[in-house]
Amino acid sequence: MLEVKELTVNYGSCTVVDRMSFHVSEGQWLMIVGPNGAGKSTVLSAVTQGVAYTGTVSLLGQDVKRISAAQRAREVGVLAQNHFVGYEFTVEEVVRLGRYAYSSKLFSGRKDEDEQAVEKALELTGMEALRDQSVLKLSGGELQRTFLAQVFAQNPKLLLLDEPTNHLDLVYQKQVFELIAQWVKQPGRAVVSVVHDLSLAKAFGSDALLMSRGGLVAEGSVDEVLRPEHLDPVYDMDVCAWMREMLSQWDDKEKEMAICQIPE
């Protein structure tokens, strides 16, 4: 579905991504992990033509540089981590923009398939009740679900997520990831997401790609990549020990809670 070969991105004299190659097949959920500044988000930007690069990025066998912006949008949807909307658009207006790539005529009337896609996206994300609400008055989680609905309305085959739950509380994190897990189960779809939370990567990803300083360190299934021998040198710490220590906090707390709740 997506094939990246020898991808290199330079910002001035600084090489941000260095000769990266990987591919994504149907049904895969590829988690791109790595420390800050590893070049993870830049890889996604290259796929959507947001940065200049050398190498090739092919989508369903076609070089993305050679396809139109509208065709690219029909194949690839992007969910960013931050959204700063300029004006008081309603939730429905923002979601409806997801159908831009499917309309060809000026002031063309609403098509049934556009209507259905928008309604379905609003329903899937639970934003129906807020459809007439200004996006400037939404909470962070509602805003993220609005843009997720826009991506769903876009009906792409490949979904790119750039730290989609970075600023969301646990409830919304769970909601967004479960929605995407349902979405990728449909045939002909795949997801590539940049995440910092390695537990989320392990829980939801099928494959992983570990990056460091613009380069590829390891790739393969999530279980193969997220191993101490790969993670520890990249993060310069004992990652598994840290994760276990964090989780053990919950074990202790649960025990304490259990003791407190013992009936007399």
Partner 1 sequence: MRKHPEHFRPIEYIIFSLATLAVMCLCVCVGSVSIPLSETVRVIWGALSGQAQTSGLTNSIILSVRLPRVFCVALSGSALSLAGAAMQGLLKNPLADGSTLGVSSGASLGAVLAIAFGVTIPGLPFSGTMFMAILFAFLSLLVILGLAYKLDYSLSTNTIILIGVIYSMFMSSLMSIVITFASDKIQSITFWTMGSLQNSSYKNAAILLAAFLLCGGMLFFHARELNAFAVGEDNARHVGVDVRRTKLTVLIMVSILIGVCVSVGGTISFVGLVTPHMVRMIVGPNHRRLLPASAFGGAVFLLLADLAARILLNPRELPIGVVTSLVGAVVFVFIFYQTRKG
Residues that bind partner 1 (CB under 8 A): 48-50, 68-74, 77-78, 80, 83-90, 93-94, 97-98, 100-101, 103, 106-107, 110, 132-134, 137, 147, 150, 154
Distance CA 235, CA 76 (A): 31
* Choice between 155 and 212, CB closer to partner 1: 155
Distance CA 159, CA 178 (A): 14
3-state SS class at 160: strand
Min. distance of Cβ 108 from partner 1 in angstroms?
Answer: 10
* Choice between 19 and 74, CB closer to partner 1: 74
Q: Tokens standing for 234?
A: 């990249």
* Choice between 52 and 241, CB closer to partner 1: 52
Pick from 236, 239, 244: which is nearest to 226 by CA? Answer: 239
Strands of the sheet containing 215-221, edge to edge, are 76-79, 158-162, 190-194, 29-33, 207-212, 215-221
Distance CA 93, CA 99 (A): 10
- 152: Cβ contacts below 8 Å, ≥ 6 apart: 77, 98, 117, 120, 121, 124, 125, 183
* Choice between 22 and 100, CB closer to partner 1: 100
Pick from 228, 227, 190, 222: which is nearest to 209 by CA? Answer: 222
Longest dimension (CA), the chain: 74
Distance CA 103, CA 52 (A): 28
Min. distance of Cβ 86 from partner 1 in angstroms?
Answer: 4
